[in-house]
Amino acid sequence: MILSASRRTDIPNYYSEWFYNRMKEGFVYVRNPVNTHQISKIDLSPEVVDCIVFWTKNPEPMMERLSELSSYPYYFQFTLTGYGKDIELNIPHKRDIMINIFQKLSDKIGSRNVIWRYDPILFNNTYTPEYHLKAFGQIASALKGFTEKCVISFVDSYAKIKKNMKQLNVYELEHEKLIAFSREIARIAKSNGITVASCAEMIDLSMCGIAHNCCIDKQFIEEIIGCTIKAGKDKNQRECCGCIESIDIGTYNTCKNGCRYCYANAGTDSILRNNRLYDSASPLLCGNVGEDDKISIRKIKSIKEMKER
């Protein structure tokens, strides 16, 4: 199984102690986001967890304890953008703090295993194409030698964020301008030894030197773990998403990053309410098992096909 931690919330930033406790105890409870009374018990032993994929904007809280994951292959998807606190409210200063954290993580686990995400890209009167190209260039220069790959995407107007997008006066680029912008992104990245791929984009940017990306990538995971795996497309993701199947252990409405483009939060009140339930010793993230809840053991197995490639 591939373990996702997490598309739904920033576990490394806010819940690393809970995560390490879960790995130590060898299991986790995950509440079904659709049927909230249904809870799955997930085995987290090294025998069944083939790779862990972390998604974060700040992995620093968990970096000193990474040695506890020595039995597990893993990689980080580290989002680092040029936005200020008007877009990403609770992220520390990028140039003064976050770039240094990225570099330190890369030194610990290797440049291949830290994928830089500059996404989602939104355009408005402040964050113009020119602004993004300048910011992207500055970050790419600072990350030269510390990552091999950058993933980009353009903001999608989910129902949860339409109000925010309207308040921010977000607009779409015309097709030709978007192609020109993407081509320049790829050029800047290449000049810093970084390849660029897109995340869940319908638009074909291959003519710009940007391939479609799979964030939970079968080929990349096979390279990390040193053997082939048997895994199909994740049917729970968008049609244009190429990720393979994984099990996500996060919980919606728990991320405190305060990003105005985020699809995983319904609002500040729900985040505060859920965070009051946080207990690092609990099998559930930000919650308790209730009388009406039903816990079932999910059948988990390794998806490795052979010992060596």
Kindly give, in sequence order, each residue whose CB lies less than 8 Å from that of residue 248, ignoring residues fewer than 6 positions away.
4, 5, 6, 7, 8, 30
What's the rounded Cα separation, in Å, for the pair 114 and 11?
A: 16
Q: pLDDT (tens digit, 9 = 90+) per residue, 70-80?
A: 999 999 999 99
Q: pLDDT (tens digit, 9 = 90+) per residue, 43-66?
A: 999 999 999 999 999 999 999 999
CA distances from 41 to 271, 277, 294, 297 (A): 24, 19, 10, 5
Model pLDDT, residue 309: 45
pLDDT above 70 covers a percentage of the chain that reads 97
The full DSSP string for 72-101 is S-EEEEEE--S--TTTBTTPPPIIIIIHHH
What's the rounded Cα separation, in Å, for the pair 156 and 170?
A: 11
Residue 139 corresponds to which tokens in the numbers above? 């970050």
